[in-house]
Amino acid sequence: MSTSDSATTIRAFKQAVNMSPKTLAAWLETPESKEVGFKSSEGGESVGHHSGRRIVDCGGIGVASSGLRVVENFLDMGHFPYVHTGTLGKVPHTTVAPYRVAEDPQTHELWALDCHFYQPQASASAADGIDAQYRYRVMQPFSAALYKSCPNRAGTLDVIALFVQPLDDEHVVAHCLLVLFEDRLGDAELIGFQHMIFGQDKPILESQRPRRLPLEGELEAHMRCDLASVSYRRWLKARGMRFGVHAPATA
């Protein structure tokens, strides 16, 4: 991709993503935001605000990798027991149970559904291991969200959102936003836990070669547990994605 193409893509991203996680969290505290969304018959605050979830901006972390690889890593459950040992996974609980991936025909968002994985510590304040239920959502090539079992409130889901800000094809800033039920820990402890998890992923992401994500060819092999990754790559290819994509060598 030419320098001009890269600059155009970055400009378009910045125009589309015009509110940072910190700005969004501040806006959600305003009276204006409370007027937005579905309300009960009594009116007042919207149901979303009344739900009681906290919004925590975890800031951004620089990564020397394609933003597409960062999103793909976010979708991968297979590495949990080996990279996040003792928190998001643990040997011998290494099997990724079958799940399904579908593209929403109206929004064209990519969803991975019916996912679950045993986690010794599914969140910063989790006291016991659980079989965490997962739903992955890819809204755009550089943004994704995870809807995950809340360890402290049965039957509810927390949300972890990932927004990847590309600096160029091989360097990004990854921003994380938490929307969760949590009344035990402060923001600093929640952010620390997320930074620890991402800090375990970062060296692996930066060691992958090629740094840009291959969408075709046989550079990388996949297994059944990589369904989300394979579907994400096909989804990107169908959209004609070029920024952050590895270009195969021509004969």
Report d(CA 12, CA 75) in Å as an integer: 24
pLDDT tens for 13-26 read 666 666 666 776 67
Report d(CA 190, CA 82) in Å as an integer: 22
pLDDT tens for 43-90 read 554 555 546 789 999 999 999 999 999 999 999 999 999 999 999 999
- Predicted confidence at residue 153, as pLDDT, reads 86
Report d(CA 208, CA 225) in Å as an integer: 19
- Predicted confidence at residue 235, as pLDDT, reads 97
Q: How far is CA 173 from CA 62, 67, 162, in A?
A: 4, 8, 10
Question: What is the pTM (predicted TM-score) of this model?
Answer: 0.81
Report the chain's terminal Cα–Cα distance, integer Å: 18
| Residue whose C-alpha is closest to residue 75's, from 190, 242, 234 | 234
| CB distance 122 to 143 below 8 Å | no
Amino acid identity, residue 121? Q
Report d(CA 73, CA 176) in Å as an integer: 14
| CB distance 206 to 180 below 8 Å | no
Q: Read off the pLDDT of each residue in 181-201 and give the average, rounded to a whole number.
A: 96
Place 230 in a pLDDT band, splitting at 50, 70 and 90: very high
180 DSSP β-pair partners = 54
Evaluate if residue 115 carries a pLDDT over 70.
yes
- Predicted confidence at residue 46, as pLDDT, reads 57
Q: What structural domains does the chain harbor? A: 3-245 (3.90.380.10)
Q: Read off the pLDDT of each residue in 213-221 and give the average, rounded to a whole number.
A: 78
Evaluate if residue 2 carries a pLDDT over 70.
no
Phi, psi dihedrals of residue 234, rounded to the nearest 5°: -65, -40
**Least confident span in 64-68, 150-154, 247-251:** 247-251
Share of the chain above pLDDT 90, in %: 69
